[in-house]
Amino acid sequence: MPSLQVLTDRHDPYVVITVLGDVDATTIGVLQEQVEIAQRISSHLLFDLAGMTFMDSAGIRVLLDAYHHARANQGTVAVCSPRPSPRKVMELVGLTGYIPVHASLTEALTS
């Protein structure tokens, strides 16, 4: 059974959502729930994907929904530290044209 762990932490003005494991149709509920909680705290979300090993279209949908929610609420969404495979998926669907991708958490928090 695939596993996914999602952690959240506050780094004003961001809520950092750390994703550990595979994001797919069987685990997406865990991520979606944490994103919804984070959106109640801040309209500025930062996804730390250093520990995300796989992402399919379900993960893309969550990132895109978060982006649209942030725009509607004068917020922002960014991603940091994606591994090559998830980054490639984001590039192929054009998500990186909308959501900034940073090399590290430190870079994202200081930009």
Q: Would the pLDDT of 46 be above 70?
A: yes
pLDDT class for 3, splitting at 50, 70, 90?
Answer: confident
Q: In what order do the strands lie in the sheet with 101-102?
A: 4-11, 14-23, 44-55, 76-80, 101-102
Q: What whole-number distance in Å separates Cα of residue 5 and Cα of residue 20?
A: 5
Average pLDDT in the chain = 95
- Please give the Cα distance from 5 to 80 (Å, whole number): 17
The rounded distance, in Å, linking the Cα atoms of 71 and 61 is: 15
Q: pLDDT at position 109, please?
A: 95
Q: Cα 18 to the chain's mean position, in Å?
A: 8
SS3 category, 31:
helix
The CATH classification number of 4-105 equals: 3.30.750.24
> Where does the pLDDT of residue 111 fall: very low under 50, low under 70, confident under 90, or very high at 90 and above?
confident
Query: Over 60: is that where the pLDDT of 1 sits?
Result: no
